[in-house]
Structure 1
Amino acid sequence: MTDARVEFLAAARAAEGLLRRPEVAQAWERPSALAQWSVGGLAGHLAYQVLCVPEVLAAPAPGEETVGLLEHYRRSQWLGAGVDAEINVRIRQSSEALGASGPVALSRRVADTIAGLPAVLAGEDGARAVRLPFWGAWSLALDDLLTTRTMELAVHADDLAVSVGVPTPELPPETSESVIGLLTRLAVRRHGPVSVLRALSRAERAPGSIAAF
């Protein structure tokens, strides 16, 4: 399998382990570390990053143009949008709906999906065009889609772990490097290369933030 697939599966397995933790189940109805998200809704959003992959692969081939990773993020409506923006409200609502099944059912569904994904992904062309329902009128190559899902899994696993007071799941070095590499590219796009350079090398000249989103 390609690196993107190996990294995605590693992040998916780490997220599934977090979803099974009793601390997550105990806090399911409580507010999470993210504004306007419950722990159960955040868990649903984390789970979706895995559950969406077989759904995307089963969908008919999209007819829209296929764009690269940075162009995908340039077009994405949720980037820079407020928590009450329509796109973010829709994402929260769909995530809460997934979480409504409860922690046991959701974690089992994720585990069952992960069990079948290696064989499915091994037979796919990484350049195949795919798209997610929340996107606009464009597609991504499958391996690029998996890179975006790997980043989402890493970021939201941290959100969920912080929300329930447990350690953030550790990822293999290659997976962490891929996620940090994508976030760095997005940070450079948002803040410029000089700001990112200073933040990483010169604390005395570092900007207040180089957050990618």
Structure 2
Amino acid sequence: MSVMDAYLAAASQAASLLRTPEVDAAWERPSALAKMTVGGLAGHLAYQIFSVSSALEEPESQRQPIPLLEHYARAAWIDAPLDGEVNAGIRGKGEGIASEGALSLAERARTALAEQQTNLAGCSGDQAVFMPQTGWTLRLDDFLVTRMLEVAVHMDDLAVSVGVTTQDLPDAVFDPVLVLLARLAAGRHGQAALLRALTRAERAPAAINAI
């Protein structure tokens, strides 16, 4: 399965979760994430789909794409304080997207995904995608892996928030997300710490978070 097909599979699961009655019923309640409502979290999840539509609408960037791991090395939101400007902005954007309501948001996500199934078919994974929210460019395949990571993490957040079971992802989605998280964790804590966390419980570090 190509990265594009894997992304579409992940986004399809996200769109299905957004349509569930449990999400609709809990819309105004606090989510599992601090200072975010269920609606705001759903808006943030839906944004991962919408951001792909926005990227595909732009002409191919003429800037040189940066490596995927460099993208995370530069990311301002990693380790940013909960009440800092970056995280407040992320929460505000999610809540703004959520203001249209659960049913409308779910339908807009479904429509965007249907359009992407057609539009991605004409794209190359190597084409350059400019990310206006960061100011740099990624290869399309790398950009889609960042979306898969976001979708995987926030589907779990949303499922926990509304009391439904987190659905397993297809291997074609989970494998690149797992590799990316493992590389980020090793970069943050060292290879030995990651190996011990996975194989030696008696020597496992107290934390092995990737982001």
TM-score (norm 2): 0.96
| 2:26 corresponds to 1:27 | yes
Maintained 8 Å contact 2:159/2:165: yes
CA contact (8 A) 1:14 1:170 kept: no
Mapped contact 1:15–1:169 kept (Cα < 8 A): no
Aligned: 1:122 with 2:121: yes
Q: Which residue of 2 aligns with 1:58?
A: 57
Matches within 5 A, 1:5-84: 5-84=4-83
State the alpha-carbon separation in 2 of the partners of residues 133 and 50 from structure 1.
16
Match for residue 169 of structure 2?
A: 171
Asked if structure 1 preserves the Cα contact closer than 8 Å seen for 2:128 and 2:137, the reply is: yes
Supply the distance in 2 between the matched residues of 1:103 and 1:132 (Cα, whole angstroms).
27
Does residue 212 (structure 1) correspond to residue 206 (structure 2)? The answer is: no
- Cα distance, 1:13 vs structure 2: 0.7
Q: Which moved more, 1:114-123 or 1:52-61?
A: 52-61
Give, in whole Å, the separation in 2 of the partners of 1:77 and 1:202: 33
2:150 pairs with 1:152: yes
**Unpaired runs of 5+ in structure 1?**
none
Distance in 2 (alpha carbons) for counterparts of 1:4 and 1:71:
19
**Aligned 8 A contact 2:15 2:109 in 1:** yes
Counterpart Cα distance in 2 of 1:77 and 1:65: 20
Matched, 1:142 2:160: no
Q: How far did 1:174 drift?
A: 2.0
SS at match of 1:131: strand
Moved more, 55-64 or 177-186: 55-64
C-alpha distance in 1, partners of 2:107/2:122?
Answer: 24
In the TM superposition, what is the alpha-carbon distance from 1:63 to its structure 2 partner?
Answer: 4.7
CA distance in 2, matches of 1:62, 1:50: 20
SS of the residue corresponding to residue 140 of structure 1 reads strand
Q: Does the CA-based 8 Å contact 2:131-2:138 persist in structure 1?
A: no
**Cα deviation 1:5-30 (Å, max 9, x = unaligned):** 11111110111111111111111011
2:198 counterpart residue number: 200
Contact 1:157/1:168 (CA < 8 Å) preserved in 2? yes
In the TM superposition, what whole-angstrom CA distance separates every residue of 1:55-111 from its partner, at most 9, and x where no partner exists?
111124435441011000000000111111211111111111111111100000111
For 2:168 and 2:143, locate their aligned partners in 1 and report how far apart those are by CA, in whole Å: 22
Report SS of the residue matched to 1:154. Answer: helix
Q: Hey, what's the Cα distance between the residues in 2 that align with 1:33 and 1:134? A: 25
Tell me if the contact between 1:33 and 1:160 (Cα under 8 Å) persists in the aligned partners: yes
Whole-Å Cα distance in 2 between the matches of residues 208 and 178 of structure 1? 25
2:183 corresponds to: 185
Query: Aligned letter for 1:192?
Result: G
Distance 1:35 1:67, change over 3 A: same
**Paired residue secondary structure (2:197):** helix
Q: Distance in 2 between matches of 1:66 and 1:88?
A: 25
